[in-house]
């Protein structure tokens, strides 16, 4: 499993793709503006480049997951990024999940995401990432191409 982090306010590749063993979570701070559309596009571009590296080296991979976590609403044009999310989901390029923290514009997240956005209860990030870890384990033990039923988020989110 690899993780990359794109932050926004301004949009920036905070951390390129790293393996779980090399991952050290950065300290993130809010920056005011929320250029959500730009950050989504930058993240999807980063993902496509990584997938191209895998293909060029003959490495197979599972359908990547993209997580958007925000506490606000977009301050830029985001409709083109939303169209990319919908197209990417429809063509199985990735699975896109959105999580709104207190203050997030859930109506906009519903327009960006194919799946129902999840609202984080309080600051239960630990529970969110534990769910993510457990879900990834289920996927990694599955057969590529076979859809895996994810456990329902419990104790950290509301739909």
The pLDDT score that the predictor gives to residue 159 is 43
Band of the pLDDT at 141, cuts 50, 70, 90?
Answer: low
DSSP assignment letter at 22: G
Average pLDDT estimate for 63-91 = 94
The pLDDT score that the predictor gives to residue 41 is 97
Average pLDDT estimate for 50-78 = 92
Q: What is the mean pLDDT of the chain?
A: 86
Share of the chain above pLDDT 70, in %: 85
Whole-model pTM? 0.84
Handedness of CA 90, 100, 68, 35 (dihedral sign): positive
CA 130, CA 155: separation in Å to the nearest integer? 11
Band of the pLDDT at 134, cuts 50, 70, 90?
Answer: confident
Q: Which CATH superfamily is domain 2-124 in?
A: von Willebrand factor, type A domain (3.40.50.410)
Beta pairing, strands 95-100 & 118-120: parallel
22 preceded by a cis bond (ω within 30 of 0): no
CA 75, CA 105: separation in Å to the nearest integer? 11
Residue with tokens 């895998």: 54
Average pLDDT estimate for 86-115 = 93
């Amino acid at each position: 499993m690899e993780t990359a982090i794109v932050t926004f306010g301004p949009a920036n590749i905070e951390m390129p793709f790293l393996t779980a063993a090399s991952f050290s979570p950065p300290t993130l701070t809010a920056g005011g503006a929320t250029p959500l559309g730009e950050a989504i596009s930058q993240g999807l571009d980063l993902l496509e480049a990584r997938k191209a590296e895998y293909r060029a080296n003959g490495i197979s991979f599972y359908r990547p997951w993209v997580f958007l976590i925000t506490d606000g609403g977009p301050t830029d044009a985001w409709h083109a990024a939303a169209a990319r999310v919908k197209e990417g989901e429809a063509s199985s390029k990735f699975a896109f999940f959105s999580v709104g923290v207190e203050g997030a514009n859930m109506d906009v997240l519903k327009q960006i995401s194919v799946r129902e956005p999840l609202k984080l209860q309080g600051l239960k990030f630990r529970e969110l990432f534990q769910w993510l870890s457990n879900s990834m384990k289920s996927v990694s033990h599955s057969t590529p191409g076979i859809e895996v039923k994810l456990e329902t988020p419990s104790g950290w989110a509301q739909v």
